[in-house]
Amino acid sequence: MKIARFDNNRVGMVRDDDVIQDLTGALAQLPAHRYPFPHHDALIANLEILNNATTTRVVPLARVELLSPVANPGKIMAAPVNYTKHLEEALADKGIHHGNLVAEIHKAGIFLKATSSVVGPSEGVHLVHTDRRNDHEVELAVVIGTKGRNIAAAEALSYVAGYCIGLDMTIRGTEDRSLRKSPDSYTVLGPWLVTADEIPDPGALELSLAVNGKVRQQANTKDLILGVPELIAWASSFYTLHPGDVLLTGTPQGVGPVRPGDVMVASLERVGEMRLLVS
């Protein structure tokens, strides 16, 4: 199932004939939470409410504004330098590493991005500090579906709700990643969530990113240094994972700068494609 959030917080199922079946009425079944709110995303924790939901209308995909498929992620975890060829390019280019220590992921660990940085493709990326180099990083994004900690790699994929494309936008420079990668709109999730049953092996997906029609990044998740099960096992040995938590699995080689006015098109096999404006 492809689950989209769109327009004024509507939720629907994307069909292969490029329409969305609006299932927003099902949201009334979500448990009513009162302050203090839980750490998880209420819809991702209760995706089964969409299974037998009534369709109120059918809308052409081209006519909706797509939002992030996860409205309230509790945390955004991200893997640095998790493709060997990106590690090599980062070490070779001072414009990327800025004298920062670029360590392989086993030493560098996982980092966090602000949840306030999340947008969907229709919102676009709004650059800050445009005098500096602002790079695109296309990544496979994993959305956690079941709460867990100390998850074994062999069990890890059963904790996944689904997958989407993630853009980990980055200002290059010397500051900590948590500053440079967390301005508003520097995490794009979309175009929708594809539930895990449709992607039995997240370790064999082509992904790519083009800027103004020119392909910059093209790779396959089979080249991840730490695959999805290992990343979930590792992250959950530090943090409890909650439904709606997002794990960005790292970007492949080909990162490069974008400028206001650029158009990015990102695609991920079995998920789809999203187009967004840089401003």
Binding site for Mn ion (CB under 5 A): 137, 168, 251
Strands 76-78 and 111-113: antiparallel
Are the CB atoms for 102 and 210 separated by under 8 Å?
A: no
Minimum distance of Mn ion from residue 137's CB (angstroms): 4
Pairwise CA distance, residues 234 & 248, whole Å:
13
DSSP class of residue 224? B
Minimum distance of Mn ion from residue 96's CB (angstroms): 11
Minimum distance of Mn ion from residue 219's CB (angstroms): 13
Minimum distance of Mn ion from residue 87's CB (angstroms): 12
Cβ nearer to Mn ion, comparing 24 with 68 = 68
Cβ nearer to Mn ion, comparing 38 with 173 = 173
Cβ nearer to Mn ion, comparing 81 with 233 = 81
Burial of 231: CB neighbours in 10 Å, binned 0-12, 13-18, 19+ = buried
Sheet holding 206-211, edge to edge: 214-220, 206-211, 263-268, 272-277
Minimum distance of Mn ion from residue 177's CB (angstroms): 9
Number of Cβ within 10 Å of residue 52's Cβ equals: 8
- Secondary structure of 91-149 as H, E, C letters: HHCHHHHCCCCCCCHHHHCCEEECHHHEECHHHCECCCCCCCCEEECEEEEEEECCCEC
Minimum distance of Mn ion from residue 78's CB (angstroms): 5
Cβ nearer to Mn ion, comparing 53 with 110 = 110
Cβ nearer to Mn ion, comparing 89 with 168 = 168
Place of tokens 């800050």: 128
Pairwise CA distance, residues 117 & 209, whole Å:
20
Pairwise CA distance, residues 208 & 185, whole Å:
20
Minimum distance of Mn ion from residue 90's CB (angstroms): 11
Cβ nearer to Mn ion, comparing 187 with 236 = 187
Number of Cβ within 10 Å of residue 19's Cβ equals: 18
Cβ nearer to Mn ion, comparing 14 with 258 = 258
Are the CB atoms for 80 and 111 separated by under 8 Å?
A: yes
Name the closest residue to Mn ion (Cβ).
Answer: 168
| Closest CA relative to residue 171, chosen from 257, 63, 65, 253 | 257
Cβ nearer to Mn ion, comparing 168 with 245 = 168
Minimum distance of Mn ion from residue 250's CB (angstroms): 6
